[in-house]
Amino acid sequence: MIAAIILAAGGSQRFGSPKQLVDYRGENIVRRAARSAHEAGLDPVIVVAGEESKQIQALLQGIPVEVVTNPNWRNGQASSLRTGIVQAIAAGSDAALVMLADQPLVDAGCIRRLVSRFDNQHQLIAAEYSGTIGVPALFGAKYFGALLELTGDAGAGRWLRDHREKVTVVEMPEAAVDIDTPADLPKHGSARERFLAFRRTQRKAPPLVQQTVRARGLDFAVFTSPRVDDAIPLLCINGGLHFGHEVLWPALAPLSEKRQLVFFDQRGRGKSQTPPGTRAARIEHDALDVPAIRSALGIERWNVLGHSWGGAIAMLATAEDQAAVNKLVLVDAVGPTSEWLSRLHSAAVARLAGEQREQLERLNPSDLYVDEIARHAEYTSALYPAWFADRDFGSIFSSPRANSATGAAVAARLRREGYDWRDRIASIRTPALILHGADDILDVSVPESLSNLIPESTVALIDHAGHMPFWEAPEEFFSRVNTFLAPTDRP
């Protein structure tokens, strides 16, 4: 059992006010650290607070943490570290990860990288950044006594540097970003600022042309942007299971400058025909529709992009039609098996606060085992704000309306029966780019598991983004996609 000790009791002298109470990209910094530790599987998560203990306790509602007050916080960081170590010992912890609340880019993925190196031979694991080592760092229980002897401002980082020969280091540039003064808060810009700045550089989205395409006995609504001569088209498959193509348009409009984009409403969603026997609908049916639509459109080869559950459709379709798919782009795609679903609800609750958190907490994911549209619509709406890393930015978007009987049937079956597509995904030989928001509640173990199965794949984590990186970090997102597709845009 590995505990997390989050030090949040400092006096914030350089900041000028209690920095433990400030937000970073729409989320309180202590809550952000505690959520990351919880999502990484650490238990218990111990937050050591000072005179702001009550306020911090309130900010951490919904996350299973232990808030411990250090009455001697003015005596230096060592006193808070000792307070946390005492709690870890009382919990019977085999090790403790020590982290600071003011390193906001240290997320669950960073923590997992440290934990993955811990074993009987490696009992001291520290982050390496900016030419030094320090926290976050993992200490085996045999070092707890040494930490209890620290005094004054001698923290864990200084002790690690004094015993560097015993330390296993993990490169972690994210840990170099800390918050010492108010000027540190906006230097990366909020998601809203990044979004607006990017939008100002873009042309107006072109109109989409709608047509009806007959494939596998159904009429599909297909939408295309203007053709780009000699460029391979890009099929864009939306996620959500319940929605039409509009969840990705005009969000992906910047990609239409270099190639034609093709969208379609999945069977029984949007403007596409509802299949007979709706309650028997499966996501595999959606995947088989993709090559049939390609053939009906007369397209010989295309690139394919899938987002979220659309990533699953994209992978399954590519596995069936590899000769016709040049490159595959997966954006915050779901995992190769359904095991990630068991973690999603708690991660989403931890991300939210106030009324939004209370609304989601009242709902039970097991209610989604039945294909009742109203249940799926209520849950989808309550979950939606948690998909954003920046809560303030997410508040300007409203959840799409879930009103598809077909979508509810597909979603209920996936929830109820689970799935395992590892063999099919492992058969993919198409080059793939796996993009994933570093702060997505669909944690970073998911893209890693996909990359382990697809031989010619590259994972790129997009900082400061949740489930919709095309909104929260558009400049990096579109740059990465365009760069990846560029060599094969021209046949």
Instruction: Please give the pLDDT value at position 15.
Output: 59
Residue 139 confidence (pLDDT): 96
- Distant-in-sequence, close-in-space partners of 438: CB < 8 Å, separation ≥ 6: 107, 109, 389, 444, 461, 462, 463, 464, 465
Q: What is the DSSP letter of 112?
A: H
Contacts of 305 (CB under 8 A, 6+ apart): 234, 235, 236, 237, 252, 314, 328, 329, 330, 331, 481
Looking at domain 2-188, its CATH architecture is Alpha-Beta Complex (3.90)
Strands (E), 418-487: 432-437, 457-462
Query: What are the residue boundaries of the structural domains of the chain, listed by start?
Result: 2-188, 196-338+409-489
Measured between alpha carbons, how far is 7 from 178 in angstroms, rounded to an integer?
Answer: 13
Helix axes 405-417 and 283-297, enclosed angle (nearest 10): 130
Q: Can you list the positions of beta strands (E) in 190-301?
A: 209-215, 218-224, 234-237, 261-264
Smallest Cα–Cα separation from 147: which of 219, 198, 78, 77?
78
- CA-based torsion, 17, 23, 29, 30: positive or negative: positive
CA terminus-to-terminus distance, the chain: 54
Q: 10 Å Cβ neighbour count for 212?
A: 11
pLDDT value of position 187: 47
> Sign of torsion, CA 444 450 452 457?
negative
Which residue, chain included where needed, has tokens 């996609």? Answer: 481
Looking at residue 174, its pLDDT comes to 84
Contact 311, 332 (CB under 8 A): yes
Per-residue pLDDT of the chain (491 residues; tens, 9 = 90+): 999 999 988 765 555 557 788 877 668 889 999 999 999 999 999 999 988 888 899 989 889 999 999 988 888 888 999 999 999 999 999 999 999 988 988 999 899 999 999 998 899 999 998 888 999 999 999 999 999 998 887 788 888 988 899 999 999 888 888 877 666 654 456 788 778 878 888 889 999 999 999 999 999 999 999 999 989 999 999 999 999 999 999 999 999 999 999 999 999 999 999 999 999 999 999 999 999 999 999 999 999 999 999 999 999 999 999 999 999 999 999 999 999 999 999 999 999 988 999 999 999 999 999 999 999 999 999 999 999 998 888 988 888 988 999 999 999 999 999 999 999 999 999 999 999 999 999 988 999 999 999 999 999 999 889 999 999 999 899 999 999 998 655 55
Listed residue (377, 372, 364, 366) closest to 416, CA to CA: 366
Query: How does strand 27-28 pair with strand 23-24?
Result: antiparallel
- 3-class SS at 262? strand
CB of 160 within 8 A of CB of 97? no
**What is the pLDDT, as a whole number, of residue 182?**
66
Give residue 178's pLDDT: 81
State both tokens at 448: 């890693």
H helix runs in 134-205, sequence order: 144-148, 156-162, 191-200
Whether domain 196-338+409-489 has CATH 3.40.50.1820: the reply is yes
**What span, in angstroms and rounded, lies between the C-alpha atoms of 469 and 296?**
32
